[in-house]
Amino acid sequence: MRDGRIHEIRGREDHLKGITCPRGKASPDIVHSPQRLLHPLKRSGPKPGLNFTEISWDQALDEIAARILKLKGEHGPECIATFQGRGSFFEHGMAQMFRPPKRGGGATFTLFMPLGSPNAFSVGTLCFVSYGLLAPLTIFGRAMRTIQPDIENSDVIFIWGANPATDSPPIDMRRLKKAKGRGARIVVIDPLKTAPAAMADMWIPIRPGTDGALIHALARLCMEEGRVDRDFVSEFTLGYDQYRDYVQRFTPEKASAITWVEEGKIRELADILTSSSKVSVLTYTGLEYSNAGVQSIRALLNLWAITGHLDVEGGMRLLDFKPIPLNRPSITPPDHPKPIGYDRHPFFCDITMAGHFMEFPRSVLDGDPYRIRFLLIGGASILTGFPDKALFERSLAALDGLVVVDRFMTADALYADYVLPATTYYENLSYVQYPEVIPAPSHIQLRQRVVEPVGEARSDYIICAQLAERLGYGELFPQTEEEMVRYVIKDLPLTFEDLAKADGPVRVGPGPLAGEERKWEKGKLRRDGKPGFNTPSGKWEIASSLLKKYGHEPLPVYVDIQEGPENGELFVRFPLVFTSGARIQSTFRSQHLNIPRLVRMQPCAQAHIHPRDAAPRGILDGDSVRIVSPRGRVTMRARVTDGIIPGVVEVNMGGGSPVQVEGWRDANVNLVTDHGNRDSISGFPVFKALLCQVEKIQ
Ligand SMILES: Nc1nc2c(c(=O)[nH]1)N[C@H]1C(S)=C(S)[C@@H](COP(=O)(O)OP(=O)(O)OC[C@H]3O[C@@H](n4cnc5c(=O)[nH]c(N)nc54)[C@H](O)[C@@H]3O)O[C@H]1N2
Ligand SMILES: Nc1nc2c(c(=O)[nH]1)N[C@H]1C(S)=C(S)[C@@H](COP(=O)(O)OP(=O)(O)OC[C@H]3O[C@@H](n4cnc5c(=O)[nH]c(N)nc54)[C@H](O)[C@@H]3O)O[C@H]1N2
Ligand SMILES: [Mo]
């Protein structure tokens, strides 16, 4: 099982990026960082603050369980909540064991559901759900992982609002380089000249948040000139005629004014898009964080479909998945009451079976519609990730109980009553599954412990299982890591011993298959075997029935930017377009900013600004600058570069945790972002299309 490809799959683990760990000898910097949390801690000083006393695990878990049961008794189970971040749900055993039976992906966390609480929150409130679920479900009835660019066979690859060079690990970057090597053309649409843009045949800098307008203009050009897949649009789409009428307003001239992309370039893009059937597109977070996030992603998928690139070689293939049959407890979310956020974002809550954390402050601070009083945060950094840090600080401070489970002190821990030390993956016994790496088959692998847990740290799974036991339902969760793995794999045709003996990935299924082309024509996409798609109408829903049902605009319309150059008065005071959070190689959101060898790669948080905008402000590369928005300010270093579209400032995200080095610790980008400004469909905050001013600090 140790051929090159499997090796590549193994590299997919976030923290194993580029590291090989001989068992027993590994000492990645993160494991032995002097800042690792080693013991359970109980608050001994005022909030906010980091005064804690070491206590035993028994005391910590007993006291936390007692507090939960007391609050439940006094206020009902719905006042107890969890928040899971990106830190913890790549631990596959943990994710599988605490996932409701009917949900494939996602991070709905069932730990407190047996108590009767529907309030499972996650970082899905502002990551992935918009792109991965809401957009694709409302157009073709399946999740995004089932539609994938056939990079290996494309003549042209568009990279539109993603940067595969900073993925972890950069699998798609390797695929792109190979494609480029065999002569495929690469087109990048991004406000930043990313590494893929630098090697591309064409870089189209675009004004952040306006992609929808460009997509509609391209759709209009293609329709006008008959460059559409006629059979597909006439037989298999819903809302095509309405959409054709709608896009008439997006002349190249109008789209150019909105997007800052030259008219000639728009025409050229339409030509490239229709130059071959073998054109694919890679996209991700670049389109999510604008007022038109979900709709722009829908419009993009739709543009590829109507121009004949759907499920053909070299285009966007529709894939079949056979999930690995893993076991899990059958805990389902309670029907009543609805989770927090349901009143404002019911579509999000129904699809994710979770709460919407943007409404958490209203719940905690105003008791509207009811009050959350206890929160367990696992593997997340809310105060660096959510917009309007001060609002979330007030909310965390107002809780009757806050528990943080992490490897390091976070900004959230300043408000915690208990902080529990979690192990890294190196210290856990668990498993990993690889069902989604294309084109490899499905594999499962035992995650062997490579280092003994440092201090008293325990795995996330064990911490939660032991808490469940104290809450009275420990029988749902095996109480050791080995028993957990045995439980999860019980329906597979292999044993724990087989996995241990294999000492590497074991193949358990065929993995994602592309199969025949244009599967909708052959009844391969619907459970009833009829031609069409897995949507309420059975069509490719340009006009979405689901969105209509939830009171949203069914067509994938462009939504005007709420805070942009169009706001004349505001634009005078804040004349630069603000975007944030383009990923960098050395950091993992708020993580790794305390790991010296990684910090050296970029010791300070940066704001990227074009020389044209820097010069009149007297800003030189490396200067300290203040980024000011209508809501607040934050200080960073200027990176003066022509690798950004003039008029736009890209501001690093991730700064703001107490363990970080000085150049990042106070540089929290979410001091300037806006909690109220959202994509109305997903409720995602608009992180990438706001306004700011940049001032040199003398
Ligand atoms: N090394 C590293 N890897 C990571 C992470 C990390 O922090 N560090 N984070 C992980 C997480 S949580 C996520 S969600 C993923 C994100 O994965 P990606 O979506 O690939 O994230 P980025 O690398 O930021 O690429 C997004 C690109 O979109 C561009 N963009 C911004 N606004 C717009 C816009 O309005 N229109 C267009 N067309 N483009 C725009 C940005 O400039 C950027 O180049 O990465 C994951 N991988
Ligand atoms: N302005 C702006 N804000 C943004 C974004 C942006 O682009 N711009 N991006 C958004 C996105 S896409 C995301 S995903 C969020 C960030 O989402 P978060 O999930 O908050 O991500 P991190 O900052 O990486 O915080 C993860 C925490 O988990 C801890 N951790 C890591 N592994 C483990 C583990 O195995 N167990 C436990 N218990 N803890 C662990 C880390 O130490 C860290 O404190 O930020 C969002 N916020
Ligand atoms: Mo994310």
Residue-wise pLDDT tens digits, 497-552? 999 999 788 888 777 788 899 999 999 999 899 999 999 999 999 999 999 999 99
Cα–Cα distance for residue pair 480/2, rounded to 1 Å? 29
- 301 Cα to the center of ligand 3, angstroms: 21
Q: Is the confidence at residue 1, as pLDDT, over 70?
A: no
Atom of ligand 2 nearest to the CA of 583: 7
Residue range 399-408: mean pLDDT, rounded: 98
Which amino acid, residue 176?
L
Tens-place pLDDT, residues 453-483: 999 999 999 999 999 999 999 999 999 999 9
Kindly list the distances between the CA atom of residue 639 and the CA atoms of 605, 607, 631, in Å, as whole numbers in the listed order: 10, 6, 23
Alpha helices in 370-525 (DSSP H): 382-385, 389-397, 460-470, 481-488, 496-502
pLDDT at position 320: 84
Q: Point out the ligand 2 atom lying closest to the alpha carbon of residue 669.
A: 1
| 209 Cβ below 6 A of ligand 1 | yes
Q: Is the CB of 512 under 6 A from ligand 1?
A: no
Cis peptide before 565 (omega within 30 of 0): no
> To test the ligand 2 pocket, which listed residue (163, 358, 461, 591) has its Cβ within 8 A of the most ligand atoms?
591
pLDDT in tens, 157-207: 999 999 999 987 788 999 999 999 999 999 999 999 999 999 999 999 999
How close is the Cα of 542 to the center of ligand 2, in Å?
Answer: 33
Ligand nearest to the CA of 131: 1
Single-letter amino acid, residue 164: P
Question: What is the DSSP code string of 342-353?
Answer: TTT-HHHHHHHT
Where residue 19 falls (left for φ over 0; alpha for ψ -120 to 50; beta otherwise) is beta
Atom number, ligand 2, closest to the C-alpha of residue 590: 23
Contact by Cβ (8 Å): 669, 590: no
- Report the pocket of ligand 2 as residue ranges, CB < 6 Å: 85-88, 91, 123, 126-127, 285, 378-381, 384-385, 405-408, 410, 422, 460, 580-581, 588-591, 653, 669-670, 673, 687
Contact 310, 316 (CB under 8 A): yes
Q: Is the CB of 189 under 6 A from ligand 1?
A: yes
Query: How far is the C-alpha of 256 from the C-alpha of 250, rounded, in Å?
Result: 9
Nearest ligand to the CA of 107 is: 2
The tens digit of pLDDT for each residue in 47-102 reads 999 999 999 999 999 999 999 999 999 999 999 999 999 887 778 899 999 999 87
Q: At 427, phi and psi to the nearest 5?
A: -100, 0
**Can you give the pLDDT at residue 236?**
98
Q: Say how many Å lie between the CA of residue 380 and the centre of ligand 2.
A: 5
- pLDDT band for position 8 (50/70/90)? very low
To test ligand 1's pocket by mutation, which of 296, 583, 649 has the most ligand atoms within 8 angstroms of CB?
Answer: 583
Ligand 2 atom closest to the CA of 85, numbered from 1 = 19
For residue 234, count other CB atoms closer than 10 A to its CB. 11
Our CA dihedral for 380, 386, 392, 393, rounded to 10 degrees, sits at 70
CA of 210 from ligand 3 middle (Å) equals 21
Kindly provide the residue ranges of all beta strands, DSSP E only, lying in 220-333, ordered along the sequence: 237-238, 279-282, 316-318
Res 15: pLDDT:
30
Angle 211-212-217 (CA atoms, 0-180°, nearest 5)?
100
User: What ligand 2 atom has the least distance to the C-alpha of 91?
Assistant: 35
Burial of 412 (0-12, 13-18, 19+ CB in 10 A): buried
Residue 128 Cα to ligand 3 midpoint, Å, equals 6
Which residue has its alpha carbon closest to ligand 1 atom 34? 208
80 contacts: CB under 8 Å, gap ≥ 6? 68, 71, 72, 112, 115, 117, 119, 372, 373, 374
Residue 16 — very low, low, confident or very high, per pLDDT cuts 50/70/90? very low
Q: How many CB atoms lie within 10 A of CB 615?
A: 12
Mapped onto helix, strand or coil, the DSSP state of residue 576 is strand
What is the rounded CA–CA span in Å between residue 497 and residue 229?
A: 53
